[in-house]
Every structure is written in C-alpha cells, then in structure tokens.
Amino acid sequence: MFLESAKKTGWIEVICGSMFSGKTEELIRRLKRAKFANLRVEIFKPKIDVRYSEEAVVSHDSNSIRSTPVDSPTSILLYASEVDVVGIDEAQFFDKSIVSVCQQLAANGVRVIVTGLDMDYLGNPFGPMPDLMAVAEYVTKVHAICVKCGDLAHHSHRLTKSDKLVMLGEKDTYEPICRHCFNGLTK
C-alpha cells in the first residue's frame, strides 16, 4: 500500500498598522513560536532599514531577532530554500514584486508572515501593502494609542516638514494619532 505524502500547505499572513502599533513585536512573537516548534525560519528586512540595527529586526521595545537585509524581494527567494516559515519586516519599503515573491513562497508550502505600514504619513495606502492584504489568507491590523487624545491610533503623523514619501524615523519624526486628530491636523 502506498502512502501519499502529506501535502505541505503555505499561506500569507499580513500584520499592518501605524507606527508604534506593535507590528514588529507581533512578527517577532510569531517567529519565535515557530522556532520553538522546531520549524526552519528565515527573516528578511529591507536593506535601507538601519534604524536600530543593520542586520536584526528590532521592535520599538528593543526585542530583536536575527535577519537578512535584502535590496530586492527576489533575493528572498534565493535565501528562503528549505524553510518552513519566512518573516518579512517593513514590506512597504519594497516594490510591488514583494507580492509575487510572497505568493510564490506560499505556493511552495511556506508560511509567510509580512509586516508593514498600511498607510503613509499622508494617510494613503502605502506601496505594496494593499496588494499584500488582498492576497493574504490572514490580515491582522494592530493599533497604537493616539498621543493627542488616547483613542486608538492608526495614522503615522510626521512631525517634520519633509515631503519625502520614504523617511526613516522614530519618536522624534513620527507620532501615532487617531482619525479625528489626524483630520484636525491636516485641515
């Protein structure tokens, strides 16, 4: 009697929200659980994200996990052979090819966990994030707390005058605010 091998299924999970909402913290939590389950895990981040570390993915609460910085999403495919779980931080900084890379990984049986800002500082959908959310099996939207009124925040309000779309920064550059406070500031 022949036994069919178990079908390896993959999927895409997206964790999105504003700055300071806990996206990276949740990514690290899920990846550490996967490692605890003895799954083979690889983590990637855009090479331009050097805020806390050139190589590690680091949350605002200083939790970290080793990662591989990449210039291009297609590089992930080269490094991600023979893995069970792939984590990708700050996906909004990649081009739209990140979507097809995630789909290819999932089609190959890999669990893909992706984080990113869902909106830019102007309140517009950010880069490939809307497309990633559309193709994902699971989407988790996390919220920060509005620094102005204490409600749930989902906007990343820029505190500087720069109009560059991509501008790395921390608490000196961005603050989380709610819809009401964001609308009041942008009128």
Q: Which tokens is 24 given?
A: 């990276």
Q: How far apart are CA 97 and CA 102, in angstroms?
A: 9
| Annotation: CATH topology of 11-143 | Rossmann fold (3.40.50)
pLDDT of residue 52: 57
Instruction: Give me the pLDDT at residue 164, please.
Output: 66
Q: pLDDT of 93-150, one tens digit each?
A: 999 999 999 999 999 999 999 999 999 999 999 999 999 999 999 999 999 999 999 9
Pairing of β 85-88 and β 111-117: parallel
Supply the pLDDT for residue 68.
86
DSSP bridge pairs for 157? 175
Identify the active-site residue in 13, 26, 90, 175. Answer: 90
Handedness of CA 174, 48, 40, 85 (dihedral sign): positive
Mean pLDDT of 84-100: 96
CA angle, 25 then 26 then 31, to 5°:
100
- The model's pLDDT over 13-71, given as tens digits with 9 standing for 90+, comes to 999 999 999 998 999 999 999 999 999 999 998 887 656 555 656 555 656 667 788 99
Task: Give yes or no: 26 in active site.
Answer: no
| Residue 83 reports pLDDT greater than 70 | yes
Task: Indicate whether 2 pLDDT > 50.
Answer: no
Q: How confident is the model at residue 5 (pLDDT cuts 50, 70, 90)?
A: very low
